[in-house]
Amino acid sequence: MPLPAARPSRVVIENVRPRVDDGRYPIKRVPGEPVEVTADIFADGHDRLAAVLLYRDAGAAWQQEPMRPLDNDRWTATFVPRHVGRGAYTIEAWVDHFRTWRKGFQKKMEAGQDLSVEFLIGADHVQKAAVRARGRDQQSLEHWQKELRSETASAEYKSRLALDAELLRLMERYPDRENAARYEPALEVVVDPERAAFSAWYEFFPRSTAREAGKHGTLRDAARHLEFVAEMGFDVVYLPPIHPIGTAFRKGKNNNPESLAGEVGSPWAIGAAEGGHTAIHPDLGTFADFEHFVRRAKDLGMDVALDIAFQASPDHPYVKDHPQWFRWRPDNSVQYAENPPKKYQDIYPFEFENDDWRAMWTELRDVFLFWVGHGVRIFRVDNPHTKPFAFWEWLIADVKSAHPDVIFLSEAFTRPKMMYRLAKLGFTQSYTYFAWRNHKAELTDYLLELTRSDVREFFRPNFWPNTPDILTEYLQSGERGAFITRLVLAATLSSNYGIYGPAFELMEHIPVAVGKEEYLDSEKYEVKSWPLDRRDSLKPLIARVNQARRQNPALQRTHNLDFHDVDNPQLIAYSKNSPDHSNLIVCVANLDPRWTQSGWLRLPLESFGLDPARPYTMHDLLSGEQYSWFGPVNYVELNPGKINAHLFRVTQGA
């Protein structure tokens, strides 16, 4: 085995955290969100070490932060990314010869040993640092080394110089890093816009927004509907596909494989004579109407999210112009989408294992870039787990290289490892299993997985209690308490959540059949006329929940979640605290949508920063009521006939 080309460093850097798959994928943050980095750093022998955390924002120069030792050779430091884009971080460490000498010098001095040679060794260290220094620092170090070499100065005087704190500060400023070890390759951090970490989504179908019942709505109608959405406090408005809908094998009402004349079909059957993924359904309007919609949303403080579904109706121009992009069967028909026993004859999936894959990848990437050009920066991607991982990794990186503020939401209800892989390779947010987690243990275990494991570094959950495809058994009970519980849980457990409306606020709950999770008379297949002014609508409550989220920083992150003991399995309790501990929120929810539940809640007052010997106030942000509590254990009772959750802001006077 040949000798190394250069003298190896004595320092070992390993077990760096956070790190996703040994650095194969980046971690995720938003501007201002700290990254606490830890690592095992050690060397042979007993020499003192020094280490710095190196970090940089996208396109910026490296900066550094000194690392401090913890215990058992573990070191730590924190940096805060400031700008959207792809940054990096790593660690550099070296043997600190001056600190090693200083420690030994102090021991010898305390032992009363002769220090004459030690003064000269120290002077040599200081002189080398002076060569690296500049300006007044260089002059100061030159003076120090001369004084340490002085033959006339007393040993007592030179000992004080050797241990002077100012000398140590200067030496740390100009260390000898010639033989430093550096962790390679540098780890990456993707810094997304704030909306990636904190958002409230509202999904609706533009075609159901006409003022006249039964009439097909337009994008202008949808723009007028935005005020209704804004009144509830949402900041992302999400539209299902707005493209032309195919006529071949068009689905009828309730997913009937045969449609009647005048039936509108599913928006996910994309493509017709009027165009495909870069066209707008003529009944919705024009690009001028769409751009008006985007501007109106911005005026109301909302971003527009657009659904991207990479599939084609039999009438899509791609089928004629690029037949090689689809799978042809021996009978010369195209393979339509299937999930036996379900058949989706109105949808052709793309065949990614085709010889023209480069052209297809480029074309599909350009679909995103097209809508970015029309003001869209957020995309909900339909079924990404049915397309190659390599495709998404390339596409997302390519789009974000030019537009780092773009957000991708992964709609993949599939196996956990697949969902996590999609998040690792670039998806900004992800749908989750939240809709099917109903019991306390299920919710607690799932949230701990998302917030306490390494998953937190790359997977941002977006909680949806319902979607146009998902009407869970829990909501099918039709109980008002069920909808309130799921709303409060989604909006407070996760800092990103969404609802499909107006179905949610109007508590739509009738399935197409027993045992099915699909809506009866689903809006996916017909134009609906919603009674938005219904007196029992949850709209006022939704507005209060979103107001609480906006006004309380503790609710604007997911990973600051802690669960608390309550002696009733039907009650779940948890808290969130802001980074500076100035904003404390405690939520208690009744998981039983029918019956009143009560119990004794125990809170860790000391860890909250509360004085257990004094009362504290629980301000309910949902009901407006206030309660004076004393001590760690207090009684709670929640009646679904009134409101099924408490959302407390906790305060204690000075």
Structure-token pair, residue 354: 């085709």
**Residue closest to 88 by CA, chosen among 204, 191, 173:** 191
Cα radius of gyration rounded to whole Å, the chain? 31
Give the 3-state secondary structure of residue 89: strand
Give the 3-state secondary structure of residue 27: strand
Structure-token pair, residue 615: 């009362």
**How far apart are alpha carbons 605 and 575 in whole angstroms?**
12
**How far apart are alpha carbons 199 and 546 in whole angstroms?**
10
The DSSP code for 461 is: B
Q: What ranges make up the beta strands (E) of 489-643?
A: 496-500, 561-564, 571-577, 584-590, 597-602, 616-620, 626-629, 633-638
**How far apart are alpha carbons 387 and 379 in whole angstroms?**
16
Q: Are 394 and 364 in contact (CB under 8 A)?
A: no
- Among the listed residues 57, 92, 382, 505, the single catalytic one is 382
Compute CA distances 276 → 245, 273, 287, whole Å.
8, 8, 14
Q: Are 593 and 580 in contact (CB under 8 A)?
A: no
Residues in the chain: 654
- Among the listed residues 303, 411, 479, 505, the single catalytic one is 411
Compute CA distances 113 → 108, 116, 415, whole Å.
5, 9, 68
Q: Are 496 and 460 in contact (CB under 8 A)?
A: yes
Is residue 212 part of the annotated active site? The answer reads: no
**How far apart are alpha carbons 599 and 641 in whole angstroms?**
18
**How far apart are alpha carbons 119 and 114 in whole angstroms?**
10
Structure-token pair, residue 34: 């700290």
The DSSP code for 399 is: H
Q: Are 562 and 620 in contact (CB under 8 A)?
A: no
Is residue 382 part of the annotated active site? The answer reads: yes
Neighbours of 438 (CB within 10 A): 17
Q: Where are the alpha helices (DSSP H) in 425-508?
A: 440-452, 473-476, 480-493
**Residue closest to 76 by CA, chosen among 132, 151, 18, 24:** 18
**Catalytic positions:** 382, 411
